[in-house]
Amino acid sequence: MTAPVVTGLIVENFKCFEHLRIPLAPLTVLSGYNGAGKSSAIQPLLLLAQRARRGSLDGGSENDVLPLNGNLARLGSAGDVLRTQAEGAPLRFGFETEEETLFLEASARTGQRNLKVEMTGDRERWDALLSKLERLVLISAVRGGPAEAFPAPDLSESDTPDVGADGRYASYWYDRLADTEIEEARRFVGEPADTFRRQLDAWFGSIAPGASATVQALPVASIFALQFRLSGIGEWRRPANVGYGLTYAFPILVALLAAGRGDTLVIDSPEAHLHPRAQSRMGWMLAAFAAAGVRLIVETHSDHVLNGIRRAVKDDKLDASDLALLFFAGGGETDHGVTRPRVDAEGRIDEWPDGFFDQGDHDLAVLSGWE
């Protein structure tokens, strides 16, 4: 059976949401006000992916639970996730695929750290979905700082190229994959070499001109020393001596190049510590990898990242139909204030809800005396 692709999420009675449906495209971009529900909306997907790493669901047995705390999500206990206004209504998650919607109904008592679940839908499709989501990778907004060396992951359960939510395993995966061949769809135009290391440097250089990376393995200690340089003939330097921007971008580049076709990456704040031009180029790069078959869910507050994505659409790198923009404005009568601006083939957006990347315009209007 072909592994199903999650094309939409349905969330009922979870945290702030009574009922919410959001589409998931090859590239899904979530933006909006702080505390408006962006992260909460995709946490059911993280919970299921977290559970997938433990094997198949049994369909109602005592062991059939969704852990609320793990490597992909740490949500506390049931009281933190059950909608208080639900008055006994069930918590439900729906995972839309191209063929059907698979539902999980969950229950728990306050204080419990697992959700007991029952599933509806075809069992084989559930197993196929879990097998696919086992490979989901999360890169959080809080990544490791400029450390001198990084650890190797425990690969006893899975060989998924997971760089870790904080990026700590990116150096290991770089070292392991450095000489592997990158498929043509993901290669940087203008770089003839097809190896992982050369392609990473080419993409890296597009974000920060002249930048490249290398890793030195120390097998005895199972650690990997990461170094950067800022020109082709420059000295290799420790991350602490080149700032946070390169260190924060490195795990994203490794994860994009290491992901399998159809794998899902969830990236929070890809713009962190990057110059505005680098943020725009990061957006263009994310669009290019989405077009090459990596499914991306990106949470961002950067208009530069958005504009880089729009430029990729205008450049015909990403089809406009493969992009979903979701703006979270907070509480509202319809879909909890979530709207979906659309982008056309020229990269133009059809509507700009108040608060949707418009602060620069407001500030300029005040500074110019127009407001």
Cβ pair 133, 73 in contact under 8 A: no
Question: 65: how many CB neighbours lie within 10 A of its CB?
Answer: 19
Angle, vertex CA 326, rays to CA 13 and CA 113, nearest 5: 35
Give the pLDDT score at 137: 97
Give the pLDDT score at 83: 81
Torsions phi, psi for 140 (to 5 deg): -85, 175
The one-letter code for the residue type at 210 is: G
- What stretches of the chain adopt beta strand conformation (E)? 8-14, 17-23, 27-32, 65-67, 91-96, 101-107, 114-120, 137-139, 149-151, 212-218, 223-229, 264-268, 295-299, 323-328, 338-339
- Tell the residue number behind the tokens 């260190």, with chain if given: 247
| Domains in the chain: ranges and CATH | 1-136+263-371 (3.40.50), 144-259 (no CATH)
| Residue 193 exposed, middle or buried by CB count within 10 Å (0-12, 13-18, 19+) | middle
> Residue 221 and residue 320: Cα distance in Å, rounded?
47
> Residue 5 and residue 132: Cα distance in Å, rounded?
8
Helix (H) / strand (E) element for 51: namely helix 38-52
Ordered mean pLDDT values, 10 residues apiece, the chain (371 residues):
85 91 97 93 95 74 79 92 74 91 87 88 86 94 86 77 95 96 96 97 95 91 92 88 93 97 97 96 98 98 97 98 94 73 96 89 87 71
pTM as predicted: 0.94
Q: Annotate 294-344 with DSSP letters as a single string.
A: -EEEEE---HHHHHHHHHHHHTTSS-GGGEEEEEE-SS-TTGGGEE---B-
- Tell the residue number behind the tokens 């001596």, with chain if given: 241
> Residue 371 and residue 362: Cα distance in Å, rounded?
8
> Residue 361 and residue 131: Cα distance in Å, rounded?
45
